[in-house]
Amino acid sequence: MPRSLVLASGSSYRRDLLGKLGLAFETASPDIDESSLPGEAPDDLALRLSQQKAEALAPMFPDGLIIGSDQVAVLGRQRLGKPGSRENAVAQLLLASGQTVTFLTGLCVYDARNGIGHTSLDRCRVHFRPLSRAQIERYVDIDQPYDCAGAFKSESLGISLLARIEGDDPNALVGLPLIRLTELLARCGVAVV
């Protein structure tokens, strides 16, 4: 009997990415506290939140395979969250101009039937071109990346801000590493092809 697959996210970006795999799935938004713990490293935070998101939906989907994902963007020692406003997006991109931002994407496939979570972490380094304030403001006004960590959309005009990307999976930068997800699903008996 096929297991129900659940995406623990309200993100349209993650929903669209998972749709690329051609699997039937449901979505539900988990209600968790996404604050970091004192002294918590960014990679630990991304992994912990991805697992908490998946586990939070287990009571609703007791027979499901639940996919949780969370992304943390880091510039030096500073976390870059979702900017939420034009002003914050411009400020983040001014910081990122000519710099490298690391995107850590935690992933968990949680088997609610047996309580086992399979996790993975994707690391993607994004090298920004040197950008003027005018370029940044023009970009922000066009793409309005207010709900994106790092304040840009690589799948859209935001790609023009970049010098290069170092990573294993371009989908991870958008929020769901499909290569690693396919591997974790296979561990749970779900073949994509």
Residue 134 token pair: 């005018």
Query: Where do we find the tokens 């976390």?
Result: 79
Burial class (CB in 10 A: 0-12, 13-18, 19+), 6: buried
Q: Of 124, 131, 123, whose CA–CA distance to 157 is shortest?
A: 131
CA-closest candidate to residue 145, choices 83, 72, 74, 79? 83
Distance CA 91, CA 173 (A): 20
The catalytic residues are 70
Query: Each residue of 100-119: b (16+ CB within 10 Å) or e?
Result: ebbbbbbbbbbbbeeeebbb
Greatest alpha-carbon pair distance for the chain in Å reads 56
Burial annotation 161-176 (CB, 10 A radius, 16+ → b, else e): bbeeeebebebbbbbb
Distance CA 141, CA 30 (A): 31
